[in-house]
Amino acid sequence: MNGPQCRHFTMDLKLPIYLDNNATTPMDPRVLEAMLPYFTENFGNAASRNHSFGWVAEEAVDYAREQVAKLIGADPKEIIFTSGATEADNLAIKGVFEMYASKGNHIITLTTEHKAVLDTCKHVEKMGGEVTYLGVQQDGLVDLAELEAAIRPETILIAIMYGNNEVGVLQPVREIATLAKKHGILFFTDATQAVGKVPVDVLKDGIDLMAFSGHKMYGPKGVGAFYVRRKNPRVKVTAQMDGGGHERGMRSGTLNVPGIVGFGKACELCMQEMEQEAARLSKMRDRLEAGLMALEEAYVNGNTEHRLPHVANISFKYVEGEGLMMGFNKDIALSSGSACTSASLEPSYVLKALGLGDDLAHSSLRFGLGRFTTDEQIDFTINAVSKTVLKLREMSPLWEMWKEGVDLEKIEWAHH
């Protein structure tokens, strides 16, 4: 029943198709290859200073630190290895809040941030901090005038993500950085979805602190990086993990050497291949989008000009996201903003922040393309999603009412 049965699709197409690359990416085999020796023969502790096992490990970490730094235009000394972006988000926000307590206690962020930022801000509020959660415009971008107006004398940090994980919109990072600098405020960006996908340069972009993660860029899970600027200005954060004083005291804990080696390799590959990859993926994404937008009442969510090359978030009005995915989730893996797919009963807070009604938020699918996505997979997806949308609309009372010209806004729905 699932998917088209046309023979030319099934020839060399391996199912299921993975289109959830914003959740995580498969690891590049070249990354795995680089990592393997560091699980076995090169197993040393990078902090062991007195023997060759330690030196080999330390050398590998130093090399990876250079690979990571190079991708974002940083100095290797500015890279702190962490367990991922969540930890780096925590370290940035809590670390700045503690370190700069004498300067102020106010942080500005967006309602569309990842939970790792939002929940950390909530924690800071409990510790006596004040946080402004700015809404976004309909296209998902921050309003710079609104941002500037939110700045207070006590503001110490602006925390705004680089690229959004649900809709893919890219915030005006350089303008935000300029604003922050003008007011003497630090600028932290969660660039987990952007690094390795679009050029990110901490100097040109004016970033003071940044978080990103290995597993979103074809590297391993459980490893990420925290960038902390050392010059103009020299930024300091209070450690959130105390212990042996690793990573210049900012993040104690024995380094995950194989993970770091893999992360470094993943950064190097992105550095080499990002440009062609982005061009290839955005072409594919645009084709997917055009194919699906041929359906009636389909809407792309978020700004389509300032957007990550590999993401499309589309609402198919009058069908519900989870019901929709069920039509093809045997063959295609992707995400929905529908409440039914999440642990909470609310639809995506990001889509709601863009001003989408709950009905449209419930009807959304997020397509996340990646390095291993092929044209055949895109063809298959356009076909399978379109067929399911049409089928479910035939089953949808809302579609029928809309077709009959009933104004759904005017109906008094029995709310639960």
Partner 1 sequence: MAYSDKVLDHYHNPQNVGTLDKAKANVGTGLVGAPECGDVMRLQIEVDEATGLISDAKFKTFGCGSAIASSSLATEWLKGKTVDQALEIDNMDIVEELALPPVKIHCSVLAEDAIKAAINDYRVKNGMEALVEEKAHH
Ligand X SMILES: Cc1ncc(COP(=O)(O)O)c(C=O)c1O
Which residues are identified as catalytic?
340
Among positions 84, 168, 259, 302, the unique one binding ligand X when judged by CB under 6 A: 84
- 116 contacts ligand X (rule: CB under 6 A): yes
Q: Residue 91 or residue 161: which is nearer to ligand X going by CB?
A: 161
CB hemisphere CA count around 47 (13 angstroms): 12
Among partner 1, ligand X, none, what does residue 318 contact (CB within 5–8 Å per kind)?
Answer: partner 1
User: Based on the number of CB atoms within 10 Å of its own CB, is 280 exposed (0-12), middle (13-18) or buried (19 or more)?
Assistant: middle
- Chain position whose Cβ is nearest to ligand X: 84
Strand-pairing partners, residue 20, are 368
Among ligand X, partner 1, none, what does residue 73 contact (CB within 5–8 Å per kind)?
Answer: none
Piece in contact with ligand X (CB under 6 A), picked from 78-86, 259-267, 319-327, 343-351: 78-86
Q: Residue 262 or residue 327: which is nearer to partner 1 going by CB?
A: 327
Among positions 90, 120, 165, 171, the unique one binding ligand X when judged by CB under 6 A: 165
Piece in contact with ligand X (CB under 6 A), picked from 54-62, 81-89, 250-258, 342-350: 81-89
- 213 contacts ligand X (rule: CB under 6 A): yes
Among ligand X, partner 1, none, what does residue 416 contact (CB within 5–8 Å per kind)?
Answer: partner 1
Strand-pairing partners, residue 82, are 224
Q: Residue 249 or residue 397: which is nearer to partner 1 going by CB?
A: 397
- In angstroms, give the least distance from the CB of 85 to ligand X: 3
- In angstroms, give the least distance from the CB of 294 to ligand X: 30
Among partner 1, ligand X, none, what does residue 192 contact (CB within 5–8 Å per kind)?
Answer: ligand X
- In angstroms, give the least distance from the CB of 192 to ligand X: 4
- 259 contacts ligand X (rule: CB under 6 A): no
- 260 contacts ligand X (rule: CB under 6 A): no
Among partner 1, ligand X, none, what does residue 219 contact (CB within 5–8 Å per kind)?
Answer: none
Whose CA is closest to 94, among 134, 132, 122? 122
- In angstroms, give the least distance from the CB of 55 to ligand X: 29
Where along the sequence are the contacts to partner 1 (CB under 8 A)?
Answer: 1-2, 318-320, 322-323, 326-327, 338-340, 347, 357-359, 362, 394-400, 408, 413-416
- 161 contacts ligand X (rule: CB under 6 A): yes
Q: Residue 9 or residue 162: which is nearer to ligand X going by CB?
A: 162
Q: Residue 126 or residue 416: which is nearer to partner 1 going by CB?
A: 416
Among ligand X, partner 1, none, what does residue 169 contact (CB within 5–8 Å per kind)?
Answer: none
Piece in contact with ligand X (CB under 6 A), picked from 188-196, 242-250, 317-325, 342-350: 188-196
- In angstroms, give the least distance from the CB of 348 to partner 1: 11
- 240 contacts ligand X (rule: CB under 6 A): no
Structure tokens at 44: 């040393």
Rounded CA gap, 135 and 301, in Å? 16
**Longest alpha-carbon distance in the chain:** 79
Question: Residues interacting with ligand X, by CB under 6 A?
Answer: 84-86, 114, 116, 161, 165, 190, 192-193, 213, 224
